[in-house]
Structure 1
C-alpha cells in the first residue's frame, strides 16, 4: 500500500497544478475582456454619459434620470473610481440600465438568455453526437458509396452560411407547407400548460434547432472522419483485428474512442461559432433569444444593453471552453503531465 501512495499524491498534484494553470488563463482572459468592456466606451471623445448611452437615449431621458445614472455609475469621477464602481456593480449583478426596456440590463438579458441556452445546448449535444457517429461510420467505410455520399453532403452543408439554411427551412416548412410557426418561442395568448406547453415550445423550437444542427454537423463529422482514418492505421487496431474482435467493438470501443480526443478539443473552438450562428438564426426565426435582443439593442442604440449582452456571451463562451478543457483532461491522462 505504501508503494502506491506517493504515485497517487504525484497524480493529484499534477492534476491540481494543471487545473490551476488553466483556470488562471481563463481568469486573465476574463479580466482583459472586463477591462476592454469598461475602457472602450469611455475612450470615445466627449461626456462619458453621452459616449455610453448615446445622443438618442439622452433625448428621451429626464434630467432626474441623467443625474441618477451619473451618480449610480460615478461617471463624474476619475476612471479608477468608475472602474471600482463598475466591478462592484457587476459583482452584485448590475450590468447597467437599459433605457429601451426601462429596466436593468441584467433583468432583460436573463429573460432572453434561457431560450438561447436551450437552443444552443440542444444543438451542441445533438450535432456532436450525430457528427461523431457519422464520422466513425464514414471513416470506417472509406471509399464506399456511403462514405462518398456523406462526405459530399457534409462538404455542401459546411459551405452554407448559418442564416441561409434557416431561411430555406423557414420558407419551405413555414411559408410553403405551413408545418411550422414563422416565429416566436411559444404561441401567444394560447394559455397552454403542462404537456401542451412543452409540445408548443418544441413546435416553435424544431426549425431553429434543425438549422443550427445542420450548420454544426459538418465540422464534427469531418474531424471525426479524419481522426478515424489515422487511428485505423495504428498497430493496436491491427492487433485487435488479429485477435478476432467483432467489427462493432473495433469500430467504437477502440478506433472510435481514440478518435474522440481531437473532436473534444475542437468542441471548445466550435462554441463561439455556434453562439454567433444561433444569434443570426434567432433573428431569422424571430426567436426570443439573445440574438433577437442584441438586434433590438443595436437598432435602438442601447449601448449598455449591447455591452451587457456581449459580456454575458463572452462569459458563457469562457465557461464552456473551460468545461471542455477539463473534460479533455479526464479523457486523456497524458495531458495532465504535458507541462
Structure 2
C-alpha cells in the first residue's frame, strides 16, 4: 500500500509540472500583451515606460527563459506578483479561496445527496411519476447553461418574489458579526449554490438511478430477497453500497468541472471567489494571477482525485492497493 501511495504521489507531482508548463505556454502564446492592457488601464504611457515595464516583468526575454524563471520561482513557493492588483498572487488566492470552497462544496454535496436520494427512489419505482420526473429533470439539467439557470433564478426568487439577494457574499450596509454574519452569508449563498447544484443534481440523480437499477437486477440481490430480508435492508445495506460507487468516482472526477462552472456562477452573482478573480484577470491580462488560479485549481482536482481513491477503497474493501 505504501509503494502504491508513493507512486500515486509521484504521478501527481509529474502531472502538476506538466500543468504548469502547459498553462504557462498557452497563456503566453495567446494574443494580447499584459503591458498594453496595464497601460490601457493607466490611460497611456510613453514608449520608454512601456519598455521599462516589459523589462521589469521579464516579458522582453525569450519564452523558454521566462518559463525557466517561472518554474524556479514556483519551486521556491513564489507565484509572482499581480500586474493589476499590485499584490502577491498567493495573497489574492488566499483572500478568495474561502468563498469558492464554500460555494463549490455546498453545491456539490447538495447535488450528490439529493441526486442519490432521487435516483434510489426512482429506481425502486421505475414506472412511477417520480421516475419520469427525475428523467425530465436530468434532461433539463444537461441542456440548460449554468449562467441561464442563474439568471432565471434571479428573476424568479429575487425580482418577481424578492426572497433572496441578487449579488455579493454579504449585505453591503450590514455591520453584523458572529451568528448574524454567518446567517447573512448563508442567505447570500442560497442562489449561487442552488444554481450550481441544479446542474449537477440532474447528473447524479440519473447516474444513481441507472446504477441502482443495474444492482437491483443482480443475483445477490435476488438471493437476499429470497432469504426474506427486509426490503429496507436489501436496498440500503446491500444494493446502495454498490450502486453508490460510480457516484463517488464521478464526484471526484467532476470536481474540476464544478470549479470551472463556479467561474460563471460567481460572475453572474458577483460572488467574491476565485471564479470572479479569474474572470477579471482574463479581461485585464493579469498573467501571474491567472496562472496562480489555474495551478491552484489543478492542485484541488488532483487532491480530490486522491481523496476519491481513498474513499472508493473504504466503500468497497474488495479493491486492493495497486
TM-score (norm 1): 0.84
Match of 2:228 in 1: 244
1:25-51 Cα distance to aligned partner (Å, 9 max, x none) = 322211101112333455579xxxx95
| 1:27 equivalent in alignment to 2:13 | yes
Alignment of 1:1-339 (within 5 A): 15-43=1-29, 53-58=34-39, 60=42, 70=55, 82-336=66-320
Cα 1:42–1:201 shift into 2, 3 Å: closer
Show structure 2 runs of 5+ residues with no match.
none
Which secondary structure state, in structure 2, belongs to the residue aligned with residue 155 of structure 1? helix
Cα 1:65–1:112 shift into 2, 3 Å: farther
Q: Is the 8 A contact 1:162 1:212 kept in 2?
A: yes
CA–CA distance in 2 between the matches of 1:301 and 1:84? 21
Q: Number of matched residues?
A: 318
Q: Is the 8 A contact 1:74 1:85 kept in 2?
A: no
TM-aligned CA deviation for residue 78 of structure 1:
7.0
CA–CA distance in 1 between the matches of 2:215 and 2:259? 31
Compute the RMSD of aligned alpha carbons: 2.6
TM-aligned CA deviation for residue 88 of structure 1:
3.8
Cα 1:325–1:54 shift into 2, 3 Å: farther
Q: Is the 8 A contact 2:35 2:54 kept in 1?
A: no
CA–CA distance in 2 between the matches of 1:32 and 1:189? 45
Show structure 1 runs of 5+ residues with no match.
1-14
Which secondary structure state, in structure 2, belongs to the residue aligned with residue 335 of structure 1? coil
Q: Is the 8 A contact 2:24 2:291 kept in 1?
A: no
Which secondary structure state, in structure 2, belongs to the residue aligned with residue 185 of structure 1? coil
Cα 1:69–1:96 shift into 2, 3 Å: farther
TM-score (norm 2): 0.88
CA–CA distance in 1 between the matches of 2:203 and 2:17? 31
Cα 1:82–1:276 shift into 2, 3 Å: closer
TM-aligned CA deviation for residue 23 of structure 1:
2.7
CA–CA distance in 2 between the matches of 1:28 and 1:44? 24
TM-aligned CA deviation for residue 199 of structure 1:
0.7
